Amino acid sequence: MFELTFTEEQQMLREMVRDFTTNELKPLAAQIDEKEAIPDHIIKKIAELGIFGAAFPVEYGGSGFGEIGYCIIQEEISKGCMSTATMIGAHASIGSNSIYLGGSEELKQRFMPALAAGEKIAAFGLTEQGAGSDAFNLKTHAEQDGDYWVINGEKQWITNGPIADVVAVYARTKKGITAFVVEKGMEGFSAGAPEKKMGIRGSKTSTLKFENVRVPKENMIGKEGYGFPIAMKVLNAGRLGLGAACLGSMKELLALSTEYAKNRYQFDEPIANFQAVQFMLSEIAVMIYNLESIVYRTATLYDLGKMTQAQAGMVKFYASESIDRTVDLSMQIFAGMGYSREMPIERFYRDARINRIFEGTNEIQKIVIAKDILRHKGSIFF
Amino acid sequence: MNILVAVSRVPDTTTKILVGSDGKFIDTNNVKFILNPYDEYALEEAIRLKEKNGGKVIAITVGPATAQDILRNALAVGADEAVHIKSEQNFDSFFVASQIAEYASKMKPDIIFMGKQSIDFDSLQVPSILSDILDLPLATIVTKLNYEGNMVKAEREIEGGKEVLSLQMPCIISAQKGLNEPRYPKLPDIMKAKKKPIEEIDAPNYENNIEIIGMELPSRSRLNKIVGDTDEDIKEIVRMLHEDAKIF
Ligand SMILES: Cc1cc2nc3c(=O)[nH]c(=O)nc-3n(C[C@H](O)[C@H](O)[C@H](O)COP(=O)(O)OP(=O)(O)OC[C@H]3O[C@@H](n4cnc5c(N)ncnc54)[C@H](O)[C@@H]3O)c2cc1C
């Protein structure tokens, strides 16, 4: 049987995050965008509710909802505020996952409980000036000095950079790329000023500088030279979560657009009566149905340990292309009102665009998907 | 301290209600059900009282098998145990109150909390009937509570003002909006709710005291309403557009 139901707990999780988003987050979303900051009390509340630790097992301070639970959270939060979803993603998914998926038992015991509880905020540091799509070309390097590794270099475009207590830093060592946990307060480690962005403005993105940062050797994530596979594994989960976030925003946009179409009168009737407008709503609905199906199918595979890189790539690619199409159609339905900053449509429009760029551009996703097709001679499906 | 909270499962306020084919009950297909909003205040108060004084919170509901999800909800928010009095028939307030009374007379709670009304039938009868059957003092529509020893000071809403009652435990409190700010269930507690016990009791067959002869949707003309122009009235108009007309 192909299971299509959520458990009672997953449903309760969805209800709770939906209520939280509706009551606390949505009313602040415009302010978060305008002021380019998520209020501390919101982050504190998210932490208290256990949202940051949702996916992780109980023994690491989480509540064992797995990737499906994480996707539900990303979906519901993104109905209200994509900045907040991005902040959660950089912390709970790519940041903490570097340690959870790549680290030794001892490292996980040391860091995961505080990360799951949101007492410490994480970031994921891979990208550099010369290493965007070509992440393997990173130049930040670490050299061993007794019980320490000394890191030098600079990262850029790091989400949560300015607020992170813990950064998973990917650096070059003798044996290849190796990941380390760098902690706030370590000498020589600093974050740049937040970038001025088009969208997801409430999430803070910055450069990170490492000047002779001495990191105890216990802070190495996994083994020396195994950093790149860890980064890829982490990004696979991240790409799936990104799909769920797009899904949430798309559902919100359909709801807003439908309501508007039914209440906006032109030529003495609601614009929803015009087939041209109906077709736009239908097109959005088709994309939502598709995306909802692949997000939860892929999340199920992830929790079973069976998701492939190509599947994550397909979700990421499809999600980000369809949210872009959705914001465009919604804007068309709202027309002048959509273009106004009085309405949330233009914010969704700006927030949506990043999804085709980060966690690997869509061109990179296509390369990954094609590799899989060619390797399996075209049969990667049921 | 032993605390009993009575909760009920009601259609979501934003659900569009249709009458079923028998013309006597709502069509429950495609209706989203929730924990009765007034019961959330009752539950929150119960949990706060337990957190302060120790003891145990038991949530009880009378309803069909499908009502069990609201008990899980209550357990996720912080109730320790739940009791499900199962009945698949349509029943009236007296039946609900007598079933709760039967359980309460065995459990002997120090205090019973419930919402001031269920938002489905809006009868406001269960607290009063329960108080009568159990012969316990009752404060209805309570917006503020203070506890001193085994005395409870309850502030309640009355026409144009407030009334303060002093009750001796064991007693019954029916909660009004404003009594507190209900919490969200935390993720670990949602997971733990699965392991908390729900006792199932089959309700006896029952001859309703009240028979529903027919149910129909309000006619269009009766939807006309005239309100004033104070801030409160504007809030009421927004509520009517949202909940009654379901325009947004
Ligand atoms: C807001 C924001 C937040 C971010 N957060 C993080 C973070 O938390 N951690 C982190 O490590 N990174 C983060 N990034 C970095 C992000 O992952 C990179 O921006 C992304 O991978 C693309 O790299 P680039 O911007 O250098 O583009 P480039 O690699 O310079 O690409 C430019 C263009 O060339 C195309 N291209 C490049 N190579 C190929 C190829 N081989 N074939 C075909 N086309 C190609 C690309 O698809 C793109 O269209 C973030 C970026 C942004 C903007």
Q: 30-49 in A: which are within 8 Å (CB) of B?
A: 48-49
**If you measure from the C-alpha of residue A132 to the centroid of ligand 1, how many angstroms do you get, rounded to a whole number?**
4
Q: Is A16 on the interface with B (CB under 8 A)?
A: yes
Q: Which residues of A touch B186 (CB under 8 A)?
A: 48-50
Q: How far is A263 from chain B (nearest CA, A)?
A: 9
Low-confidence ranges of chain B (pLDDT < 50): none
Q: Which residues of A touch B76 (CB under 8 A)?
A: 12
Report the alpha-carbon distance of residue A144 to residue A102 in Å, rounded: 20
Given a contact cutoff of 8 angstroms between Cβ atoms, the answer to whether A109 and A50 are in contact is: no
Interchain pair A19, B184: CB under 8 A: yes
- pLDDT of res. A76: 98
- pLDDT of res. B247: 73
Q: Which residues of B touch A58 (CB under 8 A)?
A: 188, 191
Consecutive H or E run containing A20: helix A8-20
Mutate which of A157, A182, A351 for ligand 1? The one with the most ligand atoms within 8 Å of its CB, which is A157
**Among the partner residues A8, A11, A63, nearest to B187 by beta-carbon distance:** A63
**How, if at all, do strands A176-183 and A220-221 pair?**
antiparallel
**How, if at all, do strands B81-86 and B56-63 pair?**
parallel
Q: Is B187 on the interface with A (CB under 8 A)?
A: yes
Q: Mutate which of B190, B194, B196 to disrupt the A interface (most A C-beta within 10 Å)?
A: B190
CATH topology classification for A122-224: Butyryl-CoA Dehydrogenase, subunit A; domain 2 (2.40.110)
Reply yes or no on whether A34 is catalytic.
no
- pLDDT of res. A382: 81
Over the stretch A341-379, which tens digit does the pLDDT of each residue have?
A: 999 999 999 999 999 999 999 999 999 999 999 998 767
Global ipTM: 0.87
Low-confidence ranges of chain A (pLDDT < 70): 1-2, 378
**Among the partner residues A13, A259, A263, nearest to B190 by beta-carbon distance:** A13
State which residue of chain B sits closest to A54, comparing Cα positions.
B187
Q: Is A59 on the interface with B (CB under 8 A)?
A: no
- pLDDT of res. B16: 82
Classify domain A8-116 by CATH number. Answer: 1.10.540.10
Domain ranges across chain A: 8-116, 122-224, 228-375
- pLDDT of res. A65: 97
Ligand 1 pocket residues where CB is under 6 Å: A 90, 124-127, 132-133, 157-159, 197, 205, 354, 357-361, 363-364
Q: Is A211 on the interface with B (CB under 8 A)?
A: no
Q: What atom in ligand 1 is closest to the CA of residue A161? A: 8
Given a contact cutoff of 8 angstroms between Cβ atoms, the answer to whether A220 and A149 are in contact is: yes
- pLDDT of res. A2: 67
Interchain pair A65, B187: CB under 8 A: yes
What is residue B215's three-state secondary structure?
A: coil
- Report pTM: 0.90
Classify domain A228-375 by CATH number. Answer: 1.20.140.10
**Among the partner residues B76, B184, B194, nearest to A20 by beta-carbon distance:** B184
User: What domains are there in chain B, each with its CATH number?
Assistant: 2-202 (3.40.50.620), 218-248 (no CATH)
| Dihedral of the alpha carbons of A86, A92, A96, A100, in degrees to the nearest 10 | -140
- pLDDT of res. B122: 79
Given a contact cutoff of 8 angstroms between Cβ atoms, the answer to whether B121 and B179 are in contact is: no
Number of C-alpha atoms within 13 angstroms, CB side, residue B22?
8
End-to-end, the C-alpha distance of chain B in Å comes to: 44
Catalytic position from the list A48, A119, A359, A363: A359
Report the alpha-carbon distance of residue B35 to residue B37 in Å, rounded: 6
- Of A359, A361, A339, A360, residue with least CA distance to A350: A339
Q: Is A189 on the interface with B (CB under 8 A)?
A: no
Q: 251-290 in A: which are within 8 Å (CB) of B?
A: 259, 263
- pLDDT of res. B220: 65
- pLDDT of res. A381: 84
